[in-house]
Structure 1
């Protein structure tokens, strides 16, 4: 038996072979390069062309950055330093213009002794927006979010502290009116009262109340006019204000366009189509020039406020269409399920429909916000000095006449940081909601 077995089995292994590493070409960086860069003839050709383009760009850009000059008082001095160090024909970036004028690019004509106020305002804004953006922060911090707009106004513009306090009191009055009317007259009457009563208060009582409190206790900061705003401070104020205000307005317009009420539907459609059908620059010129013709003589309507209103309305029209797309993407069963639970219209929208529609609409909403923030540079055409406008003013001076790329690199980098941050938060929020959905 054993002889037959020995003749039929040539080799019997009695020990295990040690684990061997995979071939170099099948793991790690080599595998990734083969699969992604040289997986075929066309991919290989495109890789070679791309590497050549990158080499050409880097070979020209690197010397310009490596020889950059940061300490000089003018473009002429920059060139003298370049000639003495790397030669007259060598490329060298004159970033000394950023060192010399960065305060102007960031703060515009804001009084230098009050630079701390925009900085503190930015910190307050970041602290106030954190409870809205991130879930782990205690909900009590939302009180800071509610108070932040009035604190930011007091910091940036200054003046008597009682003005923002009187305006904030109007929202408190509206909330009290809503809570009082809700059990007595129903939801619709409570909402109308919460809108009409504060409007009457702001029109007729807020100003005299603020003036009376100021005469009794003149507390506040030095007033800074809107014309002194500029640079990135101006872009951030306009952009952030329009973003925060346009989102709820855009949601209401989207709901109005989906509404079965004839008047509400047609007004929403007309507003959205008219606003979206005209370029933003035309609306900015309207805010700057034409709006004054429709105001009573002697009315002083701040230009920055007019721009914020127009940019908000423009952004809201686009947000409305993005949200409407999210509402249309929901299955009809979601609406029917909300009705089967006995929820009224606003309850179903708040608890079931809008959370899902906004989740679907996150990429489009953030994309609109990014475009809106970049479009704040258009205000240069109506006389407000954003970073682009200030770069033109800086280049008009005799010291820095001839500087171009250095200013635009700095401005582009600042806008990139802000827009990239919004994009990354959008990705974070999408992934977070996907995990929660699972």
Structure 2
């Protein structure tokens, strides 16, 4: 029988595309949503739930929402949806807190410098990365001077009291400071806990267990109220600085346990290999053990960072106003009473975007370092 197919030499036949029923959206739906009776039932229930929930939610959030208005009555007269005019009218307050209007350029500049400092830390294929890392290490002190002010190296900025800090700015200050300092301190505590020197080991164990056994809100209360009783009369200790120290120490204790788990997963042969190469303790840890332990600990490290970032909302208990505190204080204004839903949704969206970005970077880093993550 004659054949219309072209003949090819052995090994020269071109690759053929996959069958249409095995690739594409239809194949994905069949494989993930309709692969079994149970999945079919769950898919149908999920579709019904979304069909019931999404239309009224979209109407309230966007279609029937009011984006301009002078007060809540204007919103209610214009539509039955969300009153985003409230968020728009207080957006600068949500962002800068009570930072002086004429000095807010310093907050904006600090945020730009933060983004520049994050690039060499998060990505390794950037030009002059070594110098970028030096800058990243100096950034917390540069940002501190920009935000607080004062005279440094002949450059002077007006001093802004830290009780003017608030909103998203305050959350970033506490979160970034805690993240930047808790990781190196946690590494030292993890190494100290496994040290052969009894004094160092006992100190690290005692510190970690004490901090992990006390709620963060208690530590913040001690830092804000009770610490003044243990200081000499007349001593002034900035409240925000006390909060930054407590938050950093709290996160460091949890970070130490995460990293200790990574260290315990490293076979003793790796340490013995360092000894065979003639490396002393610190070079062996820096070049052989810690890179592997940190790679294993990436999910736990990022999880601790996310927990720390969300815990910044606890500062409202001691009188510092983060975005949630700003929102609750704004609701006391008779013009905008009764709009708590808009406040909580706005704050939830802000934290979701921030935490989701951290989690996605964690997945990117795991895949880049080949930690066995399956997408």
The reply to whether TM is greater than 0.5 is yes
Aligned residues: 361
For structure 1, list consecutive stretches of 5 or more residues without a partner in the other structure.
1-11, 83-90, 163-216
Kindly state the Cα deviation for residue 155 of structure 1 after the two structures are TM-superposed.
1.0
Are 2:24 and 1:28 aligned? Answer: yes
Deviations 1:18-41 (A, max 9, x none): 999987654422222122111121
Alignment partner, residue 152 of structure 2:
161
Kindly state the Cα deviation for residue 251 of structure 1 after the two structures are TM-superposed.
0.3
Q: Distance in 1 between matches of 2:17 and 2:208?
A: 63
Kindly state the Cα deviation for residue 151 of structure 1 after the two structures are TM-superposed.
1.8
Q: CA 1:345/1:60 → structure 2, altered by over 3 Å: closer, same or farther?
A: same
Alignment partner, residue 140 of structure 1:
131
Are 2:40 and 1:40 aligned? Answer: no
Contact 1:370 1:422 in 2 (8 A): yes
Q: Distance in 2 between matches of 1:319 and 1:20?
A: 51
Kindly state the Cα deviation for residue 149 of structure 1 after the two structures are TM-superposed.
2.4
Q: Distance in 2 between matches of 1:134 and 1:20?
A: 38
Are 2:183 and 1:247 aligned? Answer: yes
The match for 2:277 among 341, 353, 373 is 341
Q: Distance in 2 between matches of 1:47 and 1:153?
A: 51
The match for 2:209 among 267, 270, 273 is 273
Contact 1:276 1:314 in 2 (8 A): yes
TM-score, normalized by length of structure 2?
A: 0.92
Q: Distance in 2 between matches of 1:25 and 1:278?
A: 57
Q: Distance in 2 between matches of 1:415 and 1:146?
A: 25
**CA-atom RMSD in angstroms:** 1.9
Contact 1:246 1:315 in 2 (8 A): yes
Q: CA 1:31/1:221 → structure 2, altered by over 3 Å: closer, same or farther?
A: same
Contact 2:140 2:177 in 1 (8 A): no
TM-score, normalized by length of structure 1?
A: 0.79
Q: CA 1:40/1:300 → structure 2, altered by over 3 Å: closer, same or farther?
A: same
The match for 1:152 among 140, 143, 152 is 143
The match for 1:79 among 59, 62, 76 is 76
Deviations 1:250-290 (A, max 9, x none): 00000011111111111111111110011111111111111
Alignment partner, residue 300 of structure 1:
236
Alignment partner, residue 262 of structure 1:
198
Q: Distance in 2 between matches of 1:314 and 1:234?
A: 18
Q: CA 1:143/1:25 → structure 2, altered by over 3 Å: closer, same or farther?
A: closer
Q: Distance in 2 between matches of 1:130 and 1:45?
A: 45
1:434 is paired with a residue whose SS is coil
The match for 1:123 among 88, 112, 137 is 112
Alignment partner, residue 283 of structure 1:
219
Q: CA 1:339/1:222 → structure 2, altered by over 3 Å: closer, same or farther?
A: same
Give every structure 1 segment of 4 or more consecutive aligned residues whose post-TM-superposition deviation is greater than 3 Å.
17-27
Contact 2:212 2:250 in 1 (8 A): yes
Alignment partner, residue 350 of structure 2:
414
- Greater helix share, structure number: 1
Alignment of 1:70-109 (within 5 A): 70-82=67-79, 91-109=80-98
Contact 1:24 1:30 in 2 (8 A): no
Q: CA 1:337/1:115 → structure 2, altered by over 3 Å: closer, same or farther?
A: same
For structure 2, list consecutive stretches of 5 or more residues without a partner in the other structure.
8-14
